[in-house]
Amino acid sequence: MSAKILIVEDEPAIQELLAFNVTQAGFIPLRASDAEEAWQQIRDYAPDLILLDWMLPSTSGVVLAKQLRSQDQTRDTPIIMLTARGDERDKILGLESGADDYITKPFSPRELMARIRAVMRRHIPVLASDTVSLGGLELSPESHRVTARGKPVELGPTEFRLLHFFMTHAERVYSRAQLLDQVWGTQVFVEERTVDVHIRRLRATLESSGLDNLIQTVRGSGYRFSTN
Ligand code: CA
C-alpha cells in the first residue's frame, strides 16, 4: 500500500510539480489549493503526510498547521511546511505551529523526497518498506513475509502490523492506547483489550520457534519488544 501525500499549494505550477515528484517517488498525491479543499481531502482520503505551503489564500499554512494539530484525525499526521521564506524566525514559527519539518523554496525534488522519507520513517515506520531483522525474526513489509529462526511464520494482518511496529520500536514500552494509535490508527475505535488478544495470538505463533518471549508484558504499563 502506497502512502498518500496531501499537497496543499495554491500555485498550480508548483502543485503540479510536487504531484509529479510525489508520484515518481511511488506515493499517491492528493491535491488541495486552500484550507477548505485540504479538509475535504483529509475527510475523504486520510492522507499519511501533508505538504503544506506557507502562503495560501484566506487561511495561511501556519494557521492550517495549528488547526491540523488540534483535530483528532490529523493530530499525528506529519506535516512538512513549504515556504519561500528562509529566515530563522519563520522557521521557528513554522515548527511551533506544529510542522515536523520545513523546506525552503526553491528546493530540489531530491531534497524534498529525502525529507518526506525521513519524516515518514520517524512517524509511520509501519509504512517503511525496509526489511527488519531482530532477535531471530526477519520481517519484510514488501513481500509481507516473516521468518522466525529462518522458518516461515504465518501471521494475520493485525499481528503482522503489530510485529512490524514492535520490531521498529524495540526496547521501548508502549501502553495499549499507544499501540492502538500506532498500529490500528487513530480513526478506528477498538477497545484496549483487543490489543491483548492480538498480543496473545502473536506470542502463540512465535512460540514454536521459541521467540515468544521477545514480546514482554510490562506490568501496569503495557508491552515491549525486547531482545534482552
Ligand atoms: Ca502559495
Dist. CA 180 → ligand 1 center (Å):
36
How far is the CA of 175 from the CAs of 118, 202, 208, 218, 223, in angstroms?
A: 25, 17, 26, 9, 6
Query: How far apart are alpha carbons 59 and 50 in whole angstroms?
Result: 16
Check residue 130 and give its pLDDT: 79
Longest dimension (CA), the chain: 60
Q: Does domain 132-225 have CATH number 1.10.10.10?
A: yes
Ligand 1 centroid to 68 CA: how many Å? 18
110 CA → ligand 1 middle, Å: 21
Residues spanned by CATH 1.10.10.10 within the chain?
Answer: 132-225
Q: Residue with C-alpha cell 491483548? A: 196
CA 214 to centroid of ligand 1, rounded, Å: 49
Mean pLDDT by 10-residue block, N- to C-terminus, for the chain (228 residues)?
88 94 90 97 92 91 92 87 74 76 85 85 64 93 91 92 91 88 73 90 95 94 92
pLDDT of amino acid 49: 94
pLDDT for residue 188: 62
Whole-number pLDDT of residue 100: 84
CATH 3.40.50.2300 domain locations along the chain = 4-122
Domain 4-122 has CATH 2.60.40.10: no
Q: What is the pLDDT of residue 207?
A: 95
CA quadruple 137, 123, 45, 80: dihedral sign:
negative
